Amino acid sequence: MKVLLANQSTYVYGGAETVIVRLANYLSKHGIENALVTPSLHPDIEKDLVDTEIIISPKSCSPHSEMRSIHRGIKENESRFNVINPHNYPAEMAVFGCNKPVVWQCNEPILAMGSGKKSLTSRMNLAFDKSIVKRNITEVVVADEFNSYRFERIYHKKPIIIPYGIDTEYFNLNREVNPDAFKILQVGMVQPYKNQLESLRIINELKNQIPNIRLTFAGWNLPEYKLILDEYIRKNGLQNIVTFSEHVGKPYLKELYANHDVLLHPIKAQGGWLSPFEALCTGLPIIVSNEFTAASIIIDNSIGVVSNSDNYISDLMKVYHNRDKYHKQALKGKQWVNSNLTWDKYCKGMINVFEKVI
């Protein structure tokens, strides 16, 4: 078996990129030849890939240059491979005209669909996207029931569910509860879908109720959204409470998990799948949005708090006043993640799908 992975340009090393690295390295470890086609690659990703051929297909100045460059890289190399495995949008649209089986790792179908009132361009993109899924994509993989339902509603095609893995050994830490401060952490790119403005609203409400409350944002900043957050911080006098940490590597991220008291994850229905489970591996309590696509996993296994904009404040107060209780819940979550969300399970599942379509 030979697998050709494809992905969009990578400017940050986030959860979606971690999925590609772990899958590619698993394939290499088990003697399965693989390559990655992309218009550009973050240097840390390139450093972490082991025995994966990297095919850079540079973008041009033409319309849809991202998709066209990925398509060019795929078409120039597909004859050497048995199966094509596109990942993040718009990589799946780049498989038009391909003659090999295609397995799409669909992380966020809502990005392909768009949201709200759609322009003519977005409607045309969606129509093209749907035609590619119907004609060129053999199988689709999503991470959870929520995304399975969402994908089927958009594309009228039932995907296969394979949950991602977590670097359980790497994030395995023993935390100690710090009674003298209450430090809240939010991990993820600073952008509207991750909803950092909601976290600021919460902190503003709690700053007079919880002594030494602190909030850390860990993630690369989208400049336009960061300006909105900065203005809110200035207007409400939160300068000494809120800290921004640019996109961080795993060693620093592990320290952040270990040195905070709760992970707040008020994201909308996009991305952010790995962070709550990584946090649990360090024994860090988690509060996630009911829009989080893996919220049902948290609820079904009682390993964290699932909340919403009406309840974030009261739920944070519960964690603040009952640290030991929620720390024990997080340790239960740690055990569940160690048993159920492994990269071996994810990668073996993907190989089974590759073998099926071949």
Q: In this structure, what token pair is assigned to residue 319?
A: 């964690």
| CA 141/CA 134 separation, integer angstroms | 15
Assigned domain for 21 exists: yes
Domain holding 115, by residue range, is 2-165+342-357
Q: Is 333 found in the same domain as 191?
A: yes
Assigned domain for 170 exists: no
Q: Is 313 found in the same domain as 195?
A: yes
Assigned domain for 175 exists: no
Burial code (b: 16+ CB inside 10 Å, e: under 16) for 252-291 equals ebbebbbebbbbbbbbbbbbbbbbbbbbbbbbbbbbbbeb
Q: Is 228 found in the same domain as 136?
A: no
Q: CA-based diameter of the chain, in Å?
A: 64
Q: Is 52 found in the same domain as 157?
A: yes
Q: Is 89 found in the same domain as 26?
A: yes
* Tens digit of each residue's pLDDT, the chain (358 residues): 999 999 999 888 888 899 999 999 999 999 999 999 999 999 999 999 999 999 999 887 665 788 899 999 999 999 999 999 999 888 999 999 999 999 999 987 765 444 445 565 667 778 888 888 899 999 999 999 989 998 999 999 999 999 999 988 888 877 766 777 899 999 988 888 889 999 999 999 999 999 899 999 998 888 899 999 999 999 999 999 999 987 667 778 888 998 999 999 998 877 788 899 999 999 999 999 998 989 999 999 999 999 998 999 999 999 999 999 999 999 999 999 999 999 999 999 999 999 999 9
Q: Is 296 found in the same domain as 278?
A: yes
Q: Is 221 found in the same domain as 286?
A: yes
Q: Quick one: DSSP state of residue 246?
A: -
Q: For the chain, how many structural domains are there in total?
A: 2
Owner of token pair 């740690």: 334
Supply the DSSP string of 64-92, one letter for each residue.
Answer: THHHHHHHHHHHHHGGG-SEEEE-STTGG
Q: Is 189 found in the same domain as 146?
A: no
Assigned domain for 328 exists: yes
Assigned domain for 157 exists: yes
Residue 10: the pLDDT is 85
Q: Is 242 found in the same domain as 151?
A: no
Assigned domain for 124 exists: yes
Q: Is 298 found in the same domain as 156?
A: no
| CA 344/CA 133 separation, integer angstroms | 27
Owner of token pair 């596109």: 86
Q: Is 265 found in the same domain as 210?
A: yes
Assigned domain for 128 exists: yes
Q: pTM, whole model, 2 decimals?
A: 0.85
Assigned domain for 171 exists: no
pLDDT digits (tens, 9 = 90+) for 255-283: 899 899 999 999 887 778 889 999 999 99
Q: Is 233 found in the same domain as 323?
A: yes
- The domain that contains 228 carries what CATH number? 3.40.50.2000
Nearest to 133 by CA among 111, 159, 108, 114: 159
